[in-house]
Amino acid sequence: MKRYAVIVAGGQGVRMGADRPKQFLEIGGKPVLRHTVERFLAYDPSMEVILVLPAAQKEWWRDYCRCSGFLERYAMVSGGITRFHSVQNALKYVGDEGIVAVHDGVRPFISQALLARLFEAAATHPAVIPAVPVVESVRRMEGEEHSTPVNRDGLVRVQTPQLFDAGILKAAYRQAFSTSFTDDASVVEAAGVPVHIVSGDKMNLKLTTPDDLLLAETLLRISACGERL
């Protein structure tokens, strides 16, 4: 069955405070986005890669791929007003059959084991997402006021990639946009499709702040010393 990787990297990364979006910052001598793409191609070299990038950075990425000899075969689309619109743009390059993995471009440590679990589950479920239990104490803040800790029993943190039957995902994204759409799974659920949850990976980090980049460098050094991430 055909596999697609829609890698969403259309944000500007303002919280990183850098001179360019965080997906193009380097860790281990390579852009974060390259690390992310490499993880998918290591799992399945035949996977169709569709990148969602800021319009202003598309030429930079073309030049990078050309000069470095990386990723000769891929589709590239511009990010939309919201993540919903970004994914909608990418789905124009997806056929009606197959499995689509939608992933955050700034999650470069997606493991081969997690990809295997997700694609195995996607063979029998139309919508599959990874999640990890919430282990920290959680409070709800409203300005300076906050509640007593929220009962975290049964709470999970949802990750990406989120995998879907291609036809179902494309049909779901023909809905009108709603502010209730927080991720791709919420779009599919709004179309009446149940979502199956599999165990995620706590190392599947989303890089958001400068501290996250420092952590990412450390994880790469550990990996280079022989530990598998």
**What's the confidence (pLDDT) of residue 10?**
85
Rounded to whole angstroms, the Cα distance separating 178 from 191 reads: 12
| Tokens 């509640």 belong to residue | 147
Please report the DSSP string for 164-200 in residue order.
Answer: EEHHHHHHHTTSPP-TT--SHHHHHHHTT---EEEE-
- Confidence label for 13 from pLDDT (cuts 50, 70 and 90): low
**What's the confidence (pLDDT) of residue 224?**
72
Which structural domains are found in the chain, ordered by start?
3-224 (3.90.550.10)
pLDDT, tens digit (0-9, with 9 covering 90-100), for 107-116: 999 999 999 9
**What's the confidence (pLDDT) of residue 226?**
61
pLDDT, tens digit (0-9, with 9 covering 90-100), for 64-89: 999 999 999 999 999 999 999 999 99
Question: Is residue 227 predicted with pLDDT exceeding 70?
Answer: no
pLDDT, tens digit (0-9, with 9 covering 90-100), for 147-206: 778 888 889 999 999 999 999 999 999 999 999 999 999 999 999 999 999 999 999 999
How much is the mean pLDDT over the chain? 93
Biggest CA–CA distance in the chain, Å, is 54
Q: What's the predicted TM-score (pTM) here?
A: 0.93
Per cent of the chain over pLDDT 90 is 80
Question: Is residue 228 predicted with pLDDT exceeding 60?
Answer: no
- Confidence label for 212 from pLDDT (cuts 50, 70 and 90): very high
Token pair listed for 10: 């259309």
Residue type, 1: M
